[in-house]
Every structure is written in C-alpha cells, then in structure tokens.
A and B are shown apart, each in its own frame.
Chain A
Amino acid sequence: MDDAAPETASSSQIGRRVTPSTLAVEGVSYAYSKKVALDDVSFSIASGFTALLGPNGAGKSTLFALLTHLFTTPTGRIEIAGHDLSRTPRQALAKLGIVFQQSTLDLDLTVQQNLTYFAALHGIAGRTARIRIAEALERLNMADRAREKVRALNGGHRRRTEIARALLHDPTVLLLDEPSVGLDAAAREAITAHVHDLAADGMTVLWATHLTDEIYDTDQCLILHQGKLIEYGIVQNLTKGTPLKDHFLTLTGAKQ
C-alpha cells in the first residue's frame, strides 16, 4: 500500500522545517470490530496551530483517543515531545494538554477546585499549584471567575476553564477535540482566538473541528476523510484562493 501513498505523505512536508516536530504520528491504523476508523495515518507537526479538519465520522475522535492513550493500537507509532506513547506513556502524557469534546469539569465545584484537582493529578500541589492556576486563568481572562462554581458559568467560560486547566502542567502539545461544540458565535470566536494566541507563543496545538471558519489562512491543516489523511499543509497553499470551506467540501465529496 505504501507505493500508492502520495508523495505528500512524507512527514517533513508539514511544519516549518526549522523547528523539530513535537507531535509525530506514523502509520497509525485503528479498527473497531468491523469498521476501519483510521487507515495508515502519518503526520508530524511542530509548534503553531494545526487544524484537524474532517466531517463527522472521519476518525477525528478515534485519532484523539489514540493520541491521549485512551486506546492503543498495535500498528503505528505516536511520539509526543520526543516520548514514545506506547513505550513511555507517562512521560508522553506529562507533555500533553487535553481538552476533551465532552466537558470534564465537576459542575458543583469551583473553577479553582477543578483546577487544583487536575494539578494534583499531575503532581503539582501547594503554592506552585496556586501560582500556576492563577497564571493559567489570567491567560484565558478567567482570573475573576476562580471562586465561581462551574455550574454558574456559561458554555464559553467553561471551555476556557478547561483550556486553562490543560495548560497547568506546562505541556508542549495541546490537543482540543471539537472544543467549540455548543458555543455561540461570539464565544466560538473568542476561544478560537485564545488558542491561536497560545500557538503563536510557541505551543503545538492540534485542534479538531469540522468547521472551516475556525481555521486561519496561515494555519496548518490536516484533512481527514473516511479514516485517511487526504491532504495537509498550510491552508493558503492548499486552497490556492478558494475559500477553505469550498475546498473542503469538494475534497470530501460533499459538493460536486
């Protein structure tokens, strides 16, 4: 099957070559009992914003489950900040910040309590934890919400809390699985901008979505369709002037 792979499948195509890759996926496949969800996916990305674009059912969530070590697969290799996820999962996970699609906050606890819990899971406690939490909340403009119960927050602020939480242990790579689901337009834009800022500051961001308006022209983009990675590169190089949305729909066959 390798000879059929397009030339673009070489991992060095994506990412600015000057920076070493911080997230590398190599020949990863995954099948549920009968259905193939991921078919020989390879890419490697470095600091900056990378969108993982694909229609529903393309395999985005499966890829995320593999990247977060909730699943493992015998085929292929995943490396996070230089740590092999299957051989040294703990070192790899320590370098990974994750925002799950489904909210994982405790609604009856305050923002501060939610973050303190997470910090402790990553071995950060006491004064260090308090400082890191304050910094992370500050970064997401959430500092004044620390004492509020999550239940009292709106969807956008809940998401920001989750992003702040994912930054507490100072990860190299930040994964977000459709983080804007269920948010209104303003909150969606704010979250998208916040995460782009993080990427501009040097973090490796992988943002899964099926919404093209969350992706900027200068972002890198991986297009996943039916379990295969069908295209990747800088958005403006891929689209060559056409709107990303049209390009994406044509590519995935939703539009003739």
Chain B
Amino acid sequence: MIWLPALRAIIWREALRFVHQRERFIAALVRPLVWLLVFAAGFRAALGLSITPPYQTYITYETYIVPGLCGMIMLFNGMQSSLSLVYDREMGSMKLLLTAPLPRWWLLFAKLMGSTTISILQVYTFLAIAAAFGIDMPLMGYVTALPALILAGLMLGALGLALSSFIKQLENFAGVMNFVIFPMFFLSSALYPLWKMAESSRLLHDICAANPFTHAVELIRFALYAEFNGPALGWTLLATTAFMALAIWGYDPARGMTRKRA
C-alpha cells in the first residue's frame, strides 16, 4: 500500500518548501493583518453590528472579520498555487507527481492536502497575532476551527487547481483576480453580515448567499465559537466535491492538461 506514504511525502515536501520560503509566508500574513488592523479599525465606526449567532454579545468589527480573513488567507493560497502552475514554475513538479503509479484523483487530493496544511499554519499564525492584539476567540474555538479550516482549504485549493487546468496563459490570470478572487471575497459574508447586505440590495444578498466562500467563512465563524453550522457545512462540502470533480476532470489525461505546453 503506497497511498499513505505518498500522501505523507507530498505534505512533507510542501512543508519543507514552506520553511524555505519565509518571505512568502510573511507576505501572506501581511495582507490579512492590514485588513484587520487598518481597514477594520477605520470601518468599525461606520458599521453597526447587532447580535447574531454565533455571537452572544456585541462584538467589534475587528472580531467580526477575523473568520473572513482566515478565509482570505486560504483563498489567496489556493489561487497562488494555481498561479504557480500556470506560470510553469510548478508544472514540472506536477508532471512528476502525475506520473507516480497512483490514481490521479488521489495524487491531486494529496497535493491539496499539502497546500491546505500550509494554509492552516498561516491561519493559526494570523489568529495568534490577532489574539496578541486582543482580538481573541474562546479557547475551545481554536480547536474546533481546525476541521472547518481543513474543509475550507480543500475547497479553495480545489477551485485553484480546477482553474489552473483551464487557464493556459498567464495573461488570463489577471482575469482570475478580477472575476474569481475579488467577487468571491467581496460578495460574501467575510466583510459584512448578509443581513446588512440585504438592507441595501436583495439581489446582492442572494448572490452572497449562493457564494460558496460565504459558507466556508460561516463554517469557520461558527467553528471558532465551538458551534456547528449545518447548512454551511453542507454547502461547503458540496462545493468542495464539485470543485474537486472539476479539477480531476481538468487534469484528465484524455483532455491533455498540458496540451499547450507539449
């Protein structure tokens, strides 16, 4: 049985590479921290939040956007790994991976587990820094958030992987930023609660409610307070399965994932 050693090796490789790329790690942390410490500080006065689950008291805006920023870290990581594949920087190692004598879906899943592991390390570092600034969660929440973070990481990683198999040229990547990352992030509950969105536009609210990123963020939000959000879990699972299927189809050898590059 070589499935598990292969999975372990793939995660191990990601971790080793991660250790060697401290700049990337720091850069990935700066983005959410700027949002948390600058943007949120400026916005807290403008935005009144009422008590909605999972919160039991009034919360500051900073507290509200923490789960969204956890999602942001994972969203950017997912797109980053997709970018490195499109860029060809990682295409070589992808070929090496895909010629291993294992089922392709397992190799792709293992690759996603590897990048998710790195994302989760970043998220916990972010949460620790936020806690140092007084924006903390119940202690148990840090434990119960882990499965939610794994699922969210897999979902966004799978989306990135699927995109990388369809985008053949780098020029198109700006399009990914404009048409995937920004809408996904801004049309979600990451920065503002959905009910707040509904006050200004019913349509925008409905789009946000359909956005899988919203559900991933809500799953993390509830998990951070050791609470369970069934519908969010359901939607996130569904989206993960769909993106994963799309990625596996995108990397199907009969489609020729590296066609343009042959």
User: Quick one: given A72-B253, A109-B16, are A117 and B95 in contact (CB under 8 Å)?
Assistant: no
Beta-carbon contact of B95 and A104 below 8 Å: yes
A90-116 contact mask (Cβ, 8 Å, vs B): 1 or 0:
110110101010111010110001001
In the complex, which residue of chain B has the Cβ closest to the Cβ of A103? B92
The docked-state distance in angstroms from the alpha carbon of A121 to that of B91 is 17
Nearest chain B CB to A100's CB is how many angstroms away? 6
Binds B, one of A6-14, A63-71, A225-233, A248-256: A63-71
In the complex, which residue of chain A has the Cβ closest to the Cβ of B107? A121
Beta-carbon contact of B95 and A70 below 8 Å: yes
The docked-state distance in angstroms from the alpha carbon of A106 to that of B257 is 22
Asked whether any CB of chain B lies closer than 8 Å to the CB of A36, the reply is no
A31-53 contact mask (Cβ, 8 Å, vs B): 1 or 0:
01000010000000000000000
In the complex, which residue of chain B has the Cβ closest to the Cβ of A97? B99
User: Quick one: given A106-B13, A120-B9, are A94 and B253 in contact (CB under 8 Å)?
Assistant: no
Asked whether any CB of chain B lies closer than 8 Å to the CB of A123, the reply is yes
Q: Which residues of A contact B92 (CB under 8 A)?
A: 100, 102-104
The docked-state distance in angstroms from the alpha carbon of A184 to that of B256 is 33
Asked whether any CB of chain B lies closer than 8 Å to the CB of A16, the reply is no
Please provide the chain A residues from 118 to 134 with a CB less than 8 Å away from any CB of chain B in the complex: 118, 120-123, 125
Q: Which residues of A contact B169 (CB under 8 A)?
A: none
Asked whether any CB of chain A lies closer than 8 Å to the CB of B5, the reply is yes
Please provide the chain B residues from 89 to 120 with a CB less than 8 Å away from any CB of chain A in the complex: 91-93, 95-103
Beta-carbon contact of A70 and B96 below 8 Å: no
Q: Which residues of B contact A212 (CB under 8 A)?
A: none
Beta-carbon contact of B100 and A121 below 8 Å: yes
Partner of B262, one of A71, A108, A117: A71
User: Quick one: given A65-B258, A106-B13, are A70 and B253 in contact (CB under 8 Å)?
Assistant: yes
User: Quick one: given A109-B16, A117-B12, are A90 and B101 in contact (CB under 8 Å)?
Assistant: yes
Asked whether any CB of chain B lies closer than 8 Å to the CB of A62, the reply is yes
Beta-carbon contact of A65 and B262 below 8 Å: yes
The docked-state distance in angstroms from the alpha carbon of A90 to that of B107 is 12
Asked whether any CB of chain A lies closer than 8 Å to the CB of B191, the reply is no
Asked whether any CB of chain B lies closer than 8 Å to the CB of A61, the reply is yes
Residues of A whose CB lies within 8 Å of any CB of B are: 32, 37, 61-62, 65, 68-72, 74, 89-91, 93-94, 96, 98, 100, 102-104, 106, 108-109, 113, 116-118, 120-123, 125
Residues of B whose CB lies within 8 Å of any CB of A are: 1-2, 5-6, 8-10, 12-13, 16-17, 20-21, 88, 91-93, 95-103, 253-254, 256-259, 262
For the complex of A and B, 9 pairs with smallest distance between CB atoms: A123-B2, A120-B9, A104-B92, A108-B20, A121-B100, A94-B101, A90-B101, A72-B253, A71-B256
Would you mind naming 13 contact pairs between A and B with Cβ atoms under 8 Å apart? A32-B262, A70-B253, A70-B258, A71-B254, A71-B262, A90-B102, A100-B92, A102-B91, A106-B17, A108-B17, A108-B20, A121-B102, A125-B5
